[in-house]
Each structure stands twice: as structure tokens, then as C-alpha cells.
Structure 1
Amino acid sequence: MHPWLSALIGGVLIGLAATWLLWANGRIAGVSGIVDNVVKRSSLDEWGWRAAFIVGLMLAGGIAMNAQGQHALSPYKWPMLIVAGLLVGYGTTLGGGCTSGHGVCGLGRMSKRSFVSVVLFVASAMVTVFVLRHVIRVST
């Protein structure tokens, strides 16, 4: 399968899942907000659908990994993954949501706040890549 085709299919599935969650439950599929409310132990009804969403994400990822013959989650060691996860969690709290929430759901709802967030996410990623490749000269 061509990489662009698998990316297109994945994007369509993400969009459909976000739309379905909004139409069926009136909820936005921002992953950081969903995880945050599971950790904060919201009401049982709220906790249930949020936990099911997270489990579904992990199951789908596991199925995709097995389908591709990939058996390791990451080439990095657990301490690095934990630090990275904590930094991502801090960043999503600071930014009022994650890239999936702002990019997929926020832009789809024409949110000005999400538009500004996505522009800042993309700009900071571009600056990071430029600095790593052309200033520090880290090869990928």
C-alpha cells in the first residue's frame, strides 16, 4: 500500500471517529482532555466512555502494530518515554488541549482558539526542525 493511501485512510478514520463521538455523545475527541478526566476520576458515566475511548485507541494501535509485524512500542527506553509523556502532558495542559483536539476537532468546529493553537504548533515544529537540521546539524 502506498504511504499516501494509508495516511489518507488513517486521516479519514480519525475524522469519522471524531465526528461519531461528537454526534453520538456530544463530546469532543481531544485525547488530552479525555485522559485528563480519566485521571481526575470524573463521574462514573463520564469515566466509563473516556476509559473505553482510551482502551480503543490502544487496541487499535496494537492491532495496527501486529498487522505490520512491529513488536516493540518504541526504540527508546522506558525512562525516556516517561519523561516525554510527562512533557507532552504539561504542554497540552499549557496549550489548553493537544494537537488532535485543536487540529482535528477544533478546526472542524471553526474554533478561533484552535486555529491560533494549530498555527503555533506548526510554526514551533518548523522552527524546531530548522534549528535541529541547519543550526545544530542533527541528521535524521
Structure 2
Amino acid sequence: MYTKFETYILRDADRAIIPFDEQNSDYQAVKEWIAAGNVLAEPVGPAHAALVEQAKAEIRIQRQPIISILDGLQSSALVNGDMARAQVIETAKQGLRDLTDLDLSACMTFEDMRLTVKTRYLQLAAALPVEVRKAFSEAVN
């Protein structure tokens, strides 16, 4: 059994993602399966693209308080002339802004998307000095 999504076909047996690619042998097998009279299933629940947009909206909401805290820390660093720390904070803020560019196409569920985002949050936090890392603590819990 196969399920058709907007940008790929999912082989239900092993959750393999099959692109719409004439050169792909799995895609050829799906076409033969359809030619034999079978029908692709429609996804249950929201379309994948809608889930991705929902995940990105959630990212924007969750990151804003962290960016606000980092703004304050960055302002303090600039007032104190600590340009190196201000740059580290700016890099962290950019990392947060870039979260909406994460590739979530391989995530099959909304929970998979949340886990992918949480993993990236943890990576961003791990690269920061301890005192700056505290701004991330609530976001990853």
C-alpha cells in the first residue's frame, strides 16, 4: 500500500519516501502497482505542507522570547564594549531566525518536526557560552 503526498509517495510498509522521479525504480514499481488496478491512499489528517507551515509558525512563536532575552544580553555586551560576546549572541539570534529554514520534508509527523527543531535548538545552545545558553533553557524543555 502506498500513500500519495504533495511531493512524494510513502511506501506504508517501511515508511520509505519515493520521489516522483521516472528514473527511480521504486517510483516505477508504484506506477506498475497502480497500473494493476490499485489506488494510492490519501494521507490522513492535515497535508504535509500544512504541518510544515504549522511547525514553522510554532517556531516563530517559541523563538521570540529567546530572541528578546538575547537582545538584552547583546545590548549589555555592546554597552560594556564586549564585541566578541555581542557577535556570539548575534550568531545565536541568526541561528534562531534560521530555524524556519529547516528542512522538515523527511518528517512524517508533527512530533517528528518538533523533535527536529528541538535537536537544532540544542545544537545552537551547546555552541554558546554558559551564561548565554540560559536564554535557551525554557525553549528546549
Shared fold by TM > 0.5? no
Which structure shows the higher helix fraction? 1
Higher relative contact order (CA 8 A, sep 6+): 1
TM-score, structure 1 length as denominator? 0.26
Between Structure 1 and Structure 2, the one with more strand by share is 2
